[in-house]
Structures are given as C-alpha cells and as structure tokens.
Amino acid sequence: MDSKLAVKQLKKLEKSFNNGDLRLAADGWKKDWQVLIAIMLSAQTRDTTTISVCKLLFLNYPTLKKLSMENILQIEKIIKVVNYHKTKARRIKETAKILTGKKVPDNLEELIELPGVGRKTANVYLAEVHKKAAIGVDTHVARLSKKLGWTKNSNPAKIEEDLKKLFPKNYWSKINKVLVTFGQIYGRSSKLEDKKLKEIFIK
C-alpha cells in the first residue's frame, strides 16, 4: 500500500460523513479524567451508550475523590448497561483512587500503568486531550484497516505499527476518530459497511 493512497483514502472516509453525525465517547467532557474514564468505559460498548452512562456517572461523582470513595456495587449499578461493567467498575474506582489529587499522565508509559488502561485507551486519550501523534487501535480501526489494505495483521500492536509506517505522523491522531465514526455509522452490518466503502472508492 502506497502512503499517498492511504492518506487519500482516509480523507475520503472523513468526507463521507458530517462531523456532527455522531459524538464519540471521548468527545465533549470538561475534565481530563472524565475523558479517560469515558474511553475506558467505551471498550466493547457503543459510544452512544457510553455517553449516556458517563453523563449519569459524572453527575453523581463530579470529582475523582468522590468516585474513588463510592461503594463498588453502586458504581456497577450506574454503569450496568456497558459491557463488562463489573470489571470496569472496579478499574475506574481504582484509577480514580490513584489519580485523586493528581493530574492524569500525559504520556503512554504512565497511562498504561493505570488499572484498565491499555495502549488503545492511552493513545485515544493522548490524541484527544493532548493532540499528540498517537493511534488507538480498537475493533473498528482493526477491521477497516484490513478491509482497506492498510495492514494484514490482526494483533492491535502490529496494526498500530503498520499504520505508523504507512501514514505521515501528522495524520496519526486522526485515524482512530475517522475510522471509529465511520464504523459506528455504517458498520452495523458488514454488508452495509462494504456497500458504503464501494460507494466512496468507486467515485
């Protein structure tokens, strides 16, 4: 795959929807820690579901300290509609406890030390909050990168490396947002997504 072609494809994907078509889980929160927790909760869960859960969660717990002191069963109750809610409840409580009185780290190495924060979550956070050159590889990014011929790998870490080699650094932070938005709008079924991809690239 040629780098110029990949960039052209990314731009075409971005033009295939309006920026207001879909709010992603990381968008719109006032505090850095809220962005991080929203991304943590969004794993394997639709962003629309995550956003509604986060609105309620952050209304009940406006500070990390309050969240860190809450009974785990109460947190589970609030986030019960997200997938793996029990594991996520434990991890966001632990992370809240660690970060109380501190700033959220602004680098990958420290972020992935937090409970429940892997490379994908850390990279999406860094791109969203700090506008750093980072590529978060989730299921949408992995699936669409293979369909578009950007990678042949299935391992997220290897896909991340392939994309870093293929795209100029100034495009890295855009990749997750574009592919996730496209995937959530058109990826409800493989047929719908494939049809839309053909429409975009036949033009």
Catalytic residues: 120
Residue 28 φ/ψ region, left for φ over 0, alpha for ψ in the -120 to 50 degree band, beta for the rest: left
Q: What are phi and psi of 100, to 5 degrees?
A: -55, 125
DSSP label at residue 16: T
Distance (Å, rounded) from C-alpha 201 to C-alpha 1?
Answer: 15
- The angle at the Cα of 119, spanning 115 to 125, to the nearest 5 degrees, equals 85
CB atoms closer than 10 angstroms to residue 120: 24
